[in-house]
Amino acid sequence: MPNIWIATFNNHKIKELKSMVPKEMTDIMLFSAKDLSFYSAPQEDGTSFLENAWIKAKAMKPLTPPTDWLIAEDSGIEVEALDGLPGIHSARYAGNSSSDMMNNDKLLKMLNFKSNGSRKARYFCQIVALGPKGQSFEASGECTGSIANGFSGSGGFGYDPIFIPNGFECSMAEISLKEKNKISHRKKAFTKFLSQLDS
């Protein structure tokens, strides 16, 4: 199996993706942007998750060994009552330097203005993979659920403390990484890529 590079500096995403490699694929080595001697993350000015994933993939692929694969992902949460927001702005919903806590807090406040609105939401992940022979592959995954009335749990990251996956009575931040990987939008997209790689 070839090495796989992940176009991100995000420690949480790196940890999750590494945990998603099946035991039978232990020969796969995952590296990230942190393993490069130099890499400057590009401006994500696309109008969709797919466009932003391509921006990141094209920016980092030339810096990785030509024999390796590279995957770039863009993900976020979409809330029905907010017309799909925060969407591609999920990481910066409360401002360019906002923390996860600030983003969560703003989302809850925006939903309070929609007192009779739906709390349905979904996590969405879009992956773009570029191969050593010019191959390209796109995969996506989603996890549906709803927005809670407040914060709960200390695990996960992003909007996990206020996102309740369908079939659960607790937030994504209250379940283990093993449980999260069974329903995760990121796991679903990454599994599609690994299946393509294995074939």
User: Per-residue pLDDT tens for 86-132?
Assistant: 999 999 999 988 999 999 999 999 998 876 778 999 999 999 999 99
What is the model's pTM?
0.93
> What pLDDT score was predicted for residue 24?
76
Measure Cα distances from 105 to 62, 149, 158 in Å.
38, 11, 11
pLDDT tens digits, one per residue of 148-185: 999 999 999 999 999 999 999 999 999 999 999 999 99
pLDDT tens digits, 180-195: 999 999 999 999 998 8
Domain-by-domain residue ranges, the chain?
4-198
Q: Is 120 exposed, middle or buried (0-12, 13-18, 19+ CB in 10 A)?
A: middle
CA distance 160 to 65: 34
40-60: per-residue pLDDT in tens? Answer: 999 999 999 999 999 999 999
Domain 4-198 has CATH 3.30.420.40: no
The answer to whether 45 is a known catalytic residue is no
Reduce the DSSP state of residue 101 to 3 states and report it.
helix
CA 85 to chain centre: 16
**How far, in Å, CA of 26 to CA of 28, rounded?**
5
Catalytic residue among 35, 45, 68, 74: 74
What secondary structure letter does DSSP report for 86?
B
